[in-house]
Amino acid sequence: MENSIFDKKSRLSDKVLYSLIQLCTLFSVVLLVVIIGYICYRGIPDFSFSYLINTPSIINDTIGILPNIINTLYMIVLTLLIACPIGIGGAIYLNEYATNKKFVSVISFTTEVLAGIPSIIYGLFGMLFFGGVLKLSYSILTGALTLAIMILPIISRNTQVALEAVPKSYREAALGIGATKWYMIRTVLLPSAIPGILTGIILSMGRIIAESAALLFTAGSAHILPVGLFDHLFMSGGTLTIELYLCMSEGNFQEAFVIAFILIIIVLALNFTAKWISKKFDVNKVV
Amino acid sequence: MRRQFDEELDKLNTDLTKMGHLVEVSIENMIDAFKNQDKELAKEIMTNDRLINDMERTIESRSFNLILRQQPIASDLRNVTSALKIVTDLERIGDQAADIAEIIVSFEEKHAYRTVEHIPTMAKKTKIMVHEAIEAFIKKDLSTAQMVIKMDDEIDELFQEVKQEVVEIIKENSERIDFCMDFLMIAKYLERVGDHAVNICEWLEFNQTGIVNEQRLI
Amino acid sequence: MSIKIQAKDLNLYYGEKHALKNVNLDIEENKITAFIGPSGCGKSTFLKTLNRMNDYVKNIKITGNVSLDEEDIYDSRVDTTILRKKVGMVFQQPNPFPMSIYDNVAYGPRIHGIKNKKQLDEIVEKSLKAAALYDEVADRLHTSALGLSGGQQQRLCIARCLAVEPDVILLDEPTSALDPISTLKIEELLMELKEKYTIAIVTHNMQQASRIADYTAFFLVGEMVEYGKTKDLFSLPKDKRTEDYITGRFG
């Protein structure tokens, strides 16, 4: 038979490309494994539970990073508290209420630009404005405000994308039964958009933890335990990442690797949580 | 957009025209055969009637398939359904002509054509009615149709006169009862042809207005 | 034989485009009125003027009058929430919310303030029964509506619409995305529903209009060309454009 379907051709170019792609993937995975592996290798030996819950004190001759952990928590919560309402609210307005197309595109463009500004510049701005003009000096609040501006684009963008992904038909259906616009947003759009919004929040949390440049001159690097829950906001406080930076600059690599190890655990935990939450709250899945 | 549909409708029309033509020819031949006592022609009419019957089936089949496949509505529906109705009448006209031809074949009487005075008139008028009815249907000419319908009254009157005539002839000469019966039959057949021509005109009215005899059908 | 909705000299402009031209149409109570016409002729646009869904489109200008029970629906005093409770809409693509079947149907009543669980239960059951869906979903009311088939989803959308007890139900090509059997089920449903509701349906499917509609209006390029009893329009259309469209000479 001339034109038989049985003649299997060996398509060399396809096979070569396939192998190359496999190689790339392998490379990424190997890279990740190597980094995590090395940090664990250097960090685990010196890791101890007491390190987690101790405060560094010359008097008691202890080292520990409890204050830094608490500061990191403060930073995350505070930053999100500031940025989320603004980011989510703004995104809802832009997507659902704004009618001037030009206005919306200007805002979108601004947001994109904000996302690309180097974090040290945020640090500079934060230090001079929040720290100086608003006289907050070195404090967790200064740091949180600075970081809030930084993560605003992430929250806003993710919320916008999540809202845009909600099919137009849901909106029409709700309005067609007599729902007001806000009722429709509240009961149909937002629930549908939650996975996307949560993704934005988790990404932001990752960013907050990762930040060092912006925090160095805004939140400072102190490692004292909070005396008053609310007063601590106005005190200088270094996060885990800042402490890591300081350890490295002092040449204290032993401690540095332990902190790095803890940070890796936190990042991995965050990522898994993000995935789990996304799946759990996805209203669009069927079963 | 509906090329297939329009082609089918055209074929239907062509077939109808052809059948109408065959029927007209049958009537003409029937009158000629009657006039000239041409028994060969009469036999031909009877044979050709088979063609007319075949055409009825062809047109019916075409119409049914059109309805099945195209689900016609509006004017298309009226065209197809009225075609279905008039093929019956056309076929019956063909049958009447063949029946008259059958009688002609068995005629012994000389000058039979002129024996009963009113029959030639009836024959001529009937021929006109059939021709005009078919023309009117093909051209969708309602006014001609109205005229044909009116002519039927004349045919009916003529039939009554023929009846009278025949009764007289029988009274005069009871020997002639035999072919007087034939003449009566011929006159009756001609009167039926007139009725069928009227039917065709009534279905033309339906085709244009959806109404038959003042009754709205669709 | 009363008029439920009346459009008088209705004109609609999308910016420069004159989308509806001097439409005059009476929709009779407890009857099914169908709107047919080629794509872009304005039938869906017209449908949407009947419950002011066009309000959400930018750059729209409307002149003329649409009244429901002799009340002008474009009057500034009109509460569109109440209007859309009275005049419900079902769309072409079934669009159940990503919630349970129960919550979908209860959505409407909840908007209008009904919170009592027992009341909601009753309304949900009643509406699902009216939409001929209850038997199929009674045992899984709290599962996601997205798990239903296309035909079931569309009936759910109808149930959702019925739950607020409208007077009028507007349907925009409700069966064009469904298979023939679901389509027939919904047509049967509409024939039952017209006893209690007034129904207006936009359809591309002329056989559908001839099967279920009491009245049909033919739209062409924004104009309402012909309107009458479906039987008459399909057997003896008065306007040649109507005849040409319904026999498929264009469209």
* pLDDT tens readout for residues C83-120: 999 999 999 999 999 999 999 999 999 998 899 999 99
Residue C132 lies in a domain: no
Residue A200 contacts residue A224 (beta carbons within 8 Å): no
How far is the alpha carbon of C34 from chain B, nearest alpha carbon, in Å? Answer: 17
Could you list the beta-strand ranges (E) of chain B. Answer: 211-212, 215-216
Residue B79: which pLDDT band, with cuts at 50, 70 and 90? Answer: very high
Q: Give the 3-state secondary structure of residue A178.
A: coil
Tell me what pLDDT residue C1 has: 76
Specify the range with the lowest mean pLDDT, choosing from B73-87, B108-122, C207-221.
B108-122
Which subunits count as partners of chain A given 3+ CB pairs below 8 Å? C
* Chain C residues with beta carbon closer than 8 angstroms to that of A165: none
Cβ contact B74–C236 (<8 Å):
yes
Burial A109-119 (b: 16+ CB within 10 A, else e): eebeebeeeeb
What CATH number does residue B25 fall under? 1.20.58.220
Chains B and C touch (3+ CB pairs under 8 A): yes
Residue type for C107, please?
Y
Tell me what pLDDT residue A1 has: 61
Tell me what pLDDT residue B172 has: 86
**Which residue bears the tokens 């090509």?**
C173
Residue type for A147, please?
L
Tell me what pLDDT residue B109 has: 67
Our count of domains for chain B comes to 1
Residue C137 lies in a domain: no
- C187 contacts chain B (CB < 8 A): no
Cβ contact B74–C237 (<8 Å):
yes
Residue C11 β-bridge partners = C63
Among A123, A189, A181, A110, which Cα is nearest to A152's? A110
* Chain A residues with beta carbon closer than 8 angstroms to that of C84: 175-178
Residue C149 lies in a domain: no
- The DSSP output letter for C196 is T
Instruction: Examine the pLDDT at B13 and tell me if it is beyond 60.
Output: yes
CA distances to B11, C122, C169 from C197, rounded to whole Å, are 47, 20, 7
Average pLDDT in the C186-211 region? 94
Which member of B2, B73, B209 has the closest CB to residue C234? B73
Largest interatomic CA distance in chain A: 92
Q: Which two tokens stand for residue C174?
A: 């409700």
What CATH number does residue C57 fall under? 3.40.50.300
Side-chain-side CA neighbours of residue C29 (13 Å): 10
- Alpha carbons B39 and B107: distance in angstroms, whole number: 9
Cβ contact B75–C247 (<8 Å):
yes
Cβ contact A286–C112 (<8 Å):
no
* Chain B residues with beta carbon closer than 8 angstroms to that of C248: 1-2, 5
Strand-pair category, B215-216 with B211-212: antiparallel
Residue A91 contacts residue A156 (beta carbons within 8 Å): yes
Tell me what pLDDT residue C218 has: 97
- C91 contacts chain A (CB < 8 A): yes
Our count of domains for chain C comes to 1
How far is the alpha carbon of C29 from chain B, nearest alpha carbon, in Å? Answer: 25
Instruction: Give me the domain span that covers residue C51.
Output: 3-95+166-246
Residue C158 lies in a domain: no
Specify the higher pLDDT residue, C233 or A136: C233
pTM of the model: 0.82
Instruction: Give me the domain span that covers residue B159.
Output: 3-216
Which member of B1, B5, B77 has the closest CB to residue C235? B77
Largest interatomic CA distance in chain C: 56
Q: Which two tokens stand for residue A134?
A: 């608003």
Residue A29 β-bridge partners = none
Q: What angle do CA A172, A178, A179 make, to 5 degrees?
A: 75
Q: Which two tokens stand for residue A196?
A: 């996307």
Q: Which of residues 13-42 of C touch A (CB under 8 A)?
A: none
Which member of B75, B209, B210 has the closest CB to residue C243? B75
Specify the range with the lowest mean pLDDT, choosing from A60-64, B178-182, C78-82, C245-249.
A60-64
Average pLDDT in the C143-157 region? 94
Please report the ipTM that was assigned to this predicted complex. 0.87
DSSP states along C36-103 = E-STTSSHHHHHHHTTTGGGGSTTEEEEEEEEETTEETTSTT--HHHHHHHEEEE-SS----SSBHHH
Residue A220 contacts residue A174 (beta carbons within 8 Å): no
Average pLDDT in the C34-51 region? 94
Residue C118 lies in a domain: no
Angle at which helices A66-92 and A190-210 pack, to 10 degrees? 140
Tell me what pLDDT residue C251 has: 65
Ranges under pLDDT 70 in chain A: 1, 285-287
Average pLDDT, chain B: 92
- Alpha carbons A67 and A240: distance in angstroms, whole number: 9
How far is the alpha carbon of A220 from chain C, nearest alpha carbon, in Å? Answer: 46
